[in-house]
Chains A and B, each alone.
Chain A
């Protein structure tokens, strides 16, 4: 048998093999377990409630709140400008453009942090960037931003500044302690803590 026929038979055999095996075995998860462990330990996905409040008040256009609770819960209460993507639909194709993008900063929230973290874990393992979790969830949001507790008289100045900001914010969001305050200007020096990662360019094709 000459070389050419051997190559022909080889090609056909390879074709038979490739026709039999399951397609696209490339893992959909882009991050390995080790990489996830590092991310989880670093807790870089957390954004604190005060920062989110600050961005909401200043109408930061790069902020996108995402409510991962059920539509019923979303109807009852949701943060201003938030998008409802229930956890069960987080992988659906119509939500893909919201959770896999390189422009906005998505902040996921649920009542506590379990739902938002579940969503974040899935999205992060798929390799999506710019998704964050509201620290403490809505419960913490109510405790701190909507109903701030006055610090004790011996507290540090920063505690009072934080309290003033929260009281002012709660006024904006219609919380329990709505009072007229002069405070907001005093907080301008405080820059929101943004934990943004260096963005990778989205995979783009070309010929």
Chain B
């Protein structure tokens, strides 16, 4: 039966409304988890707080398991799910820039809006920087277009590259996530901060 919107079980007009509701929920959860403090995200880099890692990897493995079980039960057609195309070169460079931005700024785009919503000035400054970045990217696009489009690999899945089933990839990622959680907790003990 699913996915609901491509199959027109829910009209495409609902797309933005559903995104709006999920967005509010997401922002609420970010704020509840304390992500509106820039120290939380920076703690991931310095090792004193690895909650960010846990939250996002738990989200990822829950979604992976959910999609694969839904497919198993015949509730969703995975062929209709949108897979973001891979541009390897720009993904690596973009990831480094974004990661550096996380450490320096202490926010990701989502958490900066959470922080700004509760009146944090650093969050608002971060959003300002975000728009400046968007502006320079758009204006400078012709200079980097070739690189931006390089390494195009189409909508690729890890399971297709490795030639193993999606279920096995999921199991490996779950195990990897649990190991990372454990290492994260060791790091929290190794580099503790009394108060932040």
User: Residues of A with Cβ closer than 8 Å to B?
Assistant: 8, 11-12, 14-16, 18-21, 23-27, 200-201, 203-207
Query: Within 8 Å of chain A (Cβ to Cβ): is B22?
Result: no
Closest chain-B Cβ to A199's Cβ sits at a distance in Å of 11
Q: Can you name 15 A-B pairs with beta carbons within 8 Å?
A: A11-B178, A12-B175, A14-B174, A18-B72, A19-B165, A19-B171, A21-B72, A25-B71, A26-B71, A26-B74, A27-B74, A200-B8, A205-B81, A207-B82, A207-B84
- Chain A residue with the shortest CB-CB distance to B12: A201
Within 8 A of A (CB), among B71-92: 71-72, 74, 76-84
Besides A23-B165, A27-B74, 19 more A-B contacts (Cβ < 8 Å) are A11-B61, A15-B170, A15-B171, A18-B69, A18-B171, A19-B168, A21-B72, A24-B78, A25-B72, A25-B74, A26-B77, A201-B8, A203-B3, A203-B80, A205-B6, A205-B80, A205-B81, A207-B82, A207-B84
Q: Which applies to chain B's interface (DSSP): helix, strand, loop or mixed?
A: helix
Q: Is the CB of B7 within 8 A of A18?
A: no
Closest chain-B Cβ to A185's Cβ sits at a distance in Å of 43
Closest chain-B Cβ to A30's Cβ sits at a distance in Å of 9
In the complex, chain B residues whose CB is within 8 Å of the CB of A8: 178
Q: Is the CB of A26 within 8 A of B167?
A: no
In the complex, chain A residues whose CB is within 8 Å of the CB of B84: 207
In the complex, chain A residues whose CB is within 8 Å of the CB of B187: none
Interface size class of B (residues with CB under 8 A): 20 to 34
User: Residues of B with Cβ closer than 8 Å to A?
Assistant: 3, 6-8, 12, 15, 61, 65, 68-69, 71-72, 74, 76-84, 165-168, 170-171, 174-175, 178
